[in-house]
Chains A and B, each alone.
Chain A
Amino acid sequence: MNIFKTAIFRPVATTMVFMALMVFGIYSTINLPVDLFPEIDPPVITVVATYQGAGALEVEQNVTTQLEDQLSTINDLDEITSTSVDNMAIITLEFDWGSNLDEATNDIRDVISRTQPLLPDDVEDPVIYRFNASSIPVVTLAATAEENYPNLRQILDDQLVTPLNRIPGVGAVNIQGGPVREIQINIDPERMSAYAIDIGQISQALSNENVIIPAGDIEVGRQEYNVRIDTEFKSIDEIRQIVVKNTPQGGIVYVGDVAEVQDAVSDENRVSIVNGGRAITISVQKQNNANTVAVAREVLARIPALARTLPPDVEIRTVVDTSRYIINSVNNLSEVLIYAVVFVVLVVFIFLRKWRATFIVGLTIPFSLIAAFIYLSLTDNTLNLISLSSLSIALGMVVDDAIVVLENISTYIEKGTKPREAALYGTNEVGVAVVATTLTVVAVFLPLTFLTGMTGIWFGQLGAIVVVTIVVSTLAALTLIPMMSSQLFKEKSKEKKKRTFSRKLSGGVEKGLTWLDNGYKNLLGWALNHKLAVVITALVLFVGSLLLVPSVGTEFMPQADNARLMISIELPTGRNPQSAIPTIRKVESIFAQHVPELEIISSGVGSTAQGGGGGGITGGGSTSPNVIDITASLVPVSERERNVFEIAEVVREQLRDIPEAIQYSVSTQGGASAGPPVAINVIGNDLEQTAAVANSIVARLEQIQGVRNADISRGDPQPALQIDLDRDRLAPLGLNSGTVGQSIRNMIAGLTATEYREAGEEYDVVVRYAQPFRQSVEDIRRITVPTPDGNLVEIGSLGDIREIYTPPNIERTGRERSIQVTADLVGTPLNVVTEQIEAFIANDLDMPQGIEIEFGGDIEEQQEAFGDLFLLLGLSILLVYIVMAAQFESLKDPFIIMFSLPFAFTGVLLALVMTNTKLSVIAFVGGIILVGIVVKNAIVLVDYIQLLRGRGLPLFQAIVESGASRLRPVLMTTLTTLLAMFPLAISQGEGSETWKPMAIAVLGGLTFSTLITLVFVPVMYAIFHRKRKHKVSLLS
């Protein structure tokens, strides 16, 4: 009561308060960082342990299981999964949302130190990675070069990586691919055995002769001297001259006598090709709380200057720039928002046809939006797709209150009241109703902020923003609007016969609206006389719409076109990375011919051992040497006709013609959900059985239409040579499996004896058999190991060597072996696939004992999220009822109002089916927010019917009259909400896919429900109130 009175009588103070809000808001807006989504910090911690030279099976048995067993005791652990690949164990620990990850990290550290003694000696210290959004590279660059290629890695390391690292906000800069300098000591085993030395002695000699030892200080007189020994290698030649052994005959054996010393590059583990040239990729990660867009902008701005300092043949290109998609999406959405504002203002103008009134109503828009920005900045959020879409959703509603208040004030002025009094009484009259409708909206949006997990992060922000904007808009409607009206409106007077054209136009619109009023009046009259027919029609419509349910497909999150294709091609196993190059060339030529939209294509094969936990974990590349991973970036959405999904189909079609590709997948992962939509875990200990089950599921998946890239997570077995040592033969020689194994490892994998230092850089000095002596099974048989008494024995005499096949990776879920079947979908809804697979598993699948099947990925996420959302929907409906019942002081009237709800859902179903949109979590939330929006119309209508009945009108007349008088405000508020959403629904730009379903759902639901509400709710009112005598509405 007092708030608007104060506002009207103190216009300067009111203006200043809102000015202050504006200033603060603009300040917040300027400083608001831009991002794609709100900061999502998934509670995932990864532990990586490297065990060089071990196959997946050994890694699994010796490292993974040990770590898993110990790690599984940690508090708040939700799920533990692991992947064991050659050389590496990757254990992923998923915690409950909201658990303290710092504490968890400490616990993990403790567990790891406890487990260390149980692990094989060669396992390097396990490393803990906290997964967060910042581990996804912000910018990926590719460097190509001709003559400088051999040194490229070094050049980049010095001249690019270091300066980039200095940019504020840049976290890690990783170099992948390219040669790494290495000092190789390639032993000739024949000479070595001739001199009767072994590999251990050589490496011992090297490390003993490459030292700096500080020997203390001595004082000579007053001078203090530092005594030191420095025998560090100064040149490669020096290494050749290192003495390995003095022979009993007095001879000296130098390193150069038994081995060739080479300043070489290490065997390349990864081959990268970008736009046809050999390349090195550089991925730039941001620091944890740095802003993606800011970091990317800085990095890309530095590149041209840095590139000039590089040798002329080195070329730097941008492969992936994540900020571009973000900026385009945010710009696109901002545009949508501007259109929404224009539409809303236009609707208000058409209905009111007064510039001043339109201006006053329009004023609430900037203030409400600015309030949202202040909220974002206070809560350390970013300007992202969610906050902007939320604004778009709120936009149509923020003017509603202002419209209602303004309309009532104008009515008073029409009656001849002075503007100030009109403002006072006009606001007074509708103030409570305005607060009531706001409360229903709040009742729906506030629970969204209680959601947890992924959906919580998404819709929590939506809920908070809508609540903040709506509450501020209501405040503005109760203070700013009356104040402005009292100042700007003129008394009803001779404001006529001016500007003939605009008057004519205004008259035309007025005529149209009056016609609409009368038409509606007649319709209502007819409906009230044919109640049964109306009820039956409505019932048929609703039940009929339920029949549409089966034809609405579901998905978790809509897929977005982020202009990137990820292709993975599997070649026959057991090949080295180099042999994949011709295949890469073929793929490049496919793109050259069929995809003119291509901007840059970057391919890689093999893992990056040097990347320091690079490739496989950070999602940067394949881990097996026979899998090619390709990233193709396309030009922005606005510059091409085909979307990324269509292009992916074309590429898939073409890849079929590459004979050496055993399996390939073309994925277009974009949008919010990570990973392929279909993920089914087959859990069981027997590797072969699980593989068989998984493969039969894949076969079934492939029969389902629209399923793409169906695959199992375990790669094809890779050939391995297994040495079965005979203990009975080892023992008499004084050997054991451990020492023999270690020796063989040193000879094949090599032993890093020491580091060679040059110009501040360290290079590994690796001792091992020269290439020609480790090329065949025969060579391995001929490897000799020293016995304790100094003799040399050949491996061939100690055991058998046989060729076996080992799985390249072993995955485990919940400490049990598992295989994940994954697939992408094109057009086919997730629920269809889930149903078919469930039926297949239940009926046709021959399940061996001890095998379990679990749905993961989007299927699991969707089921959980939909469960949550159904609960939320129920909660919203209940809360809205509670708010209304309290306001109307009646249990019956809110119930009547609730009759508008089913038709909102009918509308949603119709809209989804008609636009062929799938029911995703996003569309579902659209349905929930409809609960708050839709009842508003019915509240306005029923409240006015009550009012008129209170004034003594008979039921029939009260309904018809109130219908006629409330039609305009109802249409106006509905149209503003609809038109604010409309640009969101038809937007084609980047990132639009994400929010489209919500806009479509709200548009459909609101349109349909409004049309039905206008007829059905009055009829229901008439039915419910036919017996009772009127009772004065107490909404005051």
Chain B
Amino acid sequence: MIVFNQALSEEIVELLDELEIRGFTKLNDLQGRGSNRGEPRMGTHTWPALNNAIMSVVTPDKAEKLNSRLNEMNKVSEEQGLKAFSWDVAVAVE
């Protein structure tokens, strides 16, 4: 699960392509705010930005790669507020 500023959408999808991750679910126009600093993303006049999120089920090795690339990306522009969470998949219907 990757949560990121809308502005990063393209780059992230590109990244997924690059890592040959085909499957994902993208959620658009999400509100939220960071735990510590991070500007709220409310899609209002006061806080105009919004987040998107992508959920993708990948193999652990790909997850590793993805994580490190996302970390790089976040460092380039910290204020964009990129977050990624990963957890194990319990049941899957293929």
A residues apposed to B, CB below 8 Å: 412, 415-418, 420-422, 425, 428-429, 432-433, 943, 946-947, 950-951, 1032-1036
Cβ contact within 8 Å between B9 and A421: yes
Cβ contact within 8 Å between A947 and B49: no
Bitwise, B79-91 to A at CB < 8 A (1) or not (0) is 1100000000000
Complex alpha-carbon distance, A412 and B43, angstroms: 15
Cβ contact within 8 Å between B46 and A947: yes
Q: Which of chain A's residues have a CB closer than 8 A to the CB of B44?
A: 950, 1032, 1036
For B46, give the chain A residue with the smallest CB separation.
Answer: A950
Query: Which of A418, A421, A943, A951 lies in contact with B47, CB distance below 8 A?
Result: A951
Cβ contact within 8 Å between B80 and A1034: no
Cβ contact within 8 Å between A421 and B46: no
Bitwise, B1-29 to A at CB < 8 A (1) or not (0) is 00000110111000000000000000000
Q: Which of chain A's residues have a CB closer than 8 A to the CB of B6?
A: 421, 425
B residues apposed to A, CB below 8 Å: 6-7, 9-11, 43-49, 76-77, 79-80
For A950, give the chain B residue with the smallest CB separation.
Answer: B46
Query: Which of B11, B48, B79 lies in contact with A429, CB distance below 8 A?
Result: B48
Complex alpha-carbon distance, A421 and B45, angstroms: 18
Q: Which of chain B's residues have a CB closer than 8 A to the CB of A1035?
A: 45
Cβ contact within 8 Å between A432 and B45: yes
Complex alpha-carbon distance, A429 and B42, angstroms: 12
Cβ contact within 8 Å between B7 and A418: yes
Q: Which of chain A's residues have a CB closer than 8 A to the CB of B48?
A: 425, 428-429, 1036
Q: Which of chain B's residues have a CB closer than 8 A to the CB of A421?
A: 6-7, 9-10
CB of A7, distance to nearest CB on chain B (Å): 18
Complex alpha-carbon distance, A417 and B45, angstroms: 19
In the complex where A415-B77, A416-B76, A416-B80 touch, is A947 in contact with B45 (Cβ < 8 A)? yes
Give the one of B9, B11, B47 with max A CB within 10 A. B47
A-B contact count (CB 8 A): 49
Complex alpha-carbon distance, A421 and B77, angstroms: 15
Closest 7 pairs between A and B when the two form their complex, measured CB to CB: A950-B46, A1036-B45, A429-B48, A421-B7, A416-B77, A417-B7, A1035-B45
Complex alpha-carbon distance, A926 and B49, angstroms: 40
Cβ contact within 8 Å between B7 and A412: yes
Complex alpha-carbon distance, A905 and B75, angstroms: 54
For A420, give the chain B residue with the smallest CB separation.
Answer: B10
Cβ contact within 8 Å between B45 and A1033: yes
Q: Give 23 CB contacts A-B under 8 Å.
A: A412-B7, A415-B77, A415-B80, A416-B76, A416-B79, A418-B10, A420-B10, A422-B7, A425-B7, A425-B48, A425-B49, A429-B45, A429-B48, A433-B45, A946-B46, A947-B45, A950-B46, A950-B47, A951-B46, A1032-B46, A1034-B45, A1036-B44, A1036-B46
Complex alpha-carbon distance, A417 and B81, angstroms: 12
For A1034, give the chain B residue with the smallest CB separation.
Answer: B45
Complex alpha-carbon distance, A432 and B45, angstroms: 9
For B43, give the chain A residue with the smallest CB separation.
Answer: A1036
Cβ contact within 8 Å between B79 and A415: yes
Q: Which of chain B's residues have a CB closer than 8 A to the CB of A416?
A: 76-77, 79-80
CB of A411, distance to nearest CB on chain B (Å): 11
- Extra pairs beyond A416-B80, A1035-B45, A1036-B46 (17, CB < 8 Å): A416-B76, A417-B7, A418-B10, A421-B7, A425-B6, A425-B48, A425-B49, A429-B48, A432-B45, A950-B44, A950-B46, A951-B46, A951-B47, A1032-B44, A1032-B46, A1033-B45, A1033-B46
Q: Which of chain B's residues have a CB closer than 8 A to the CB of A425?
A: 6-7, 48-49
Q: Which of chain B's residues have a CB closer than 8 A to the CB of A1034?
A: 45
Q: Which of chain B's residues have a CB closer than 8 A to the CB of A428?
A: 48
For B78, give the chain A residue with the smallest CB separation.
Answer: A416
CB of B1, distance to nearest CB on chain A (Å): 21
CB of B24, distance to nearest CB on chain A (Å): 19
Complex alpha-carbon distance, A946 and B46, angstroms: 8
CB of A616, distance to nearest CB on chain B (Å): 68
Complex alpha-carbon distance, A418 and B45, angstroms: 21
For B77, give the chain A residue with the smallest CB separation.
Answer: A416
Complex alpha-carbon distance, A433 and B45, angstroms: 9
CB of B51, distance to nearest CB on chain A (Å): 12
Q: Which of chain B's residues have a CB closer than 8 A to the CB of A1032?
A: 44, 46
Q: Which of chain A's residues have a CB closer than 8 A to the CB of B77?
A: 415-416
